[in-house]
Structure 1
Amino acid sequence: MQWMAWTWPTAAFFLVIALLLVVFSILAIKRPETPRVGVLGIETTRGDRLFITLLASAFINLAWLGFGIAPQAWALLVCLGVAAVIFRYV
């Protein structure tokens, strides 16, 4: 896989997403969830909220890089806060 220029942060990123998918699959099997309606006014499940969180995190990180706000590690804290809000209220 040398043609992909894998680095540890890149591998960790994809590993975390893979682990999230496994955990959410196990949760769906062990504890099925009924969709709920949040502030968006649409029914969402855990998987929907995970998808929304991943999209929001991507946009936050892109904006963080584009505007050069602060060190990129701070974007992770913002993303974790956004994830908490999304899973609680969406």
Structure 2
Amino acid sequence: MTDIATGPVAREIAERLTQALAPSRLDVINDSAKHRGHSGDDGSGESHFTVAIESPSFAGKSRVERQRMVNRALGDLMAERVHAMAIRATAPGEA
């Protein structure tokens, strides 16, 4: 089961992505429950996420460039508080 994330790490992810990429759509989904007891589960309940983000900033960018933009916006969160993140990054009008 996935939940739209509302914890402190999820809120920080949403805030940073909103400031850096001005998304027209942003879903931060907490996948941590699916990974309970696995490697990278720190017991916080906020270690694994899926981010679905649509932003005009992604227009003309490759999938790898988009992922790098998201990772850059999240900075130290990726190294210090998030074990894994799936990123679905699209530009407006893309399927």
Does the TM-score normalized on the shorter chain lie above 0.5? no
Query: Which structure is higher in strand share?
Result: 2
TM-score with structure 2 length normalisation?
0.31
TM-score with structure 1 length normalisation?
0.32
Query: Which structure is higher in helix share?
Result: 1
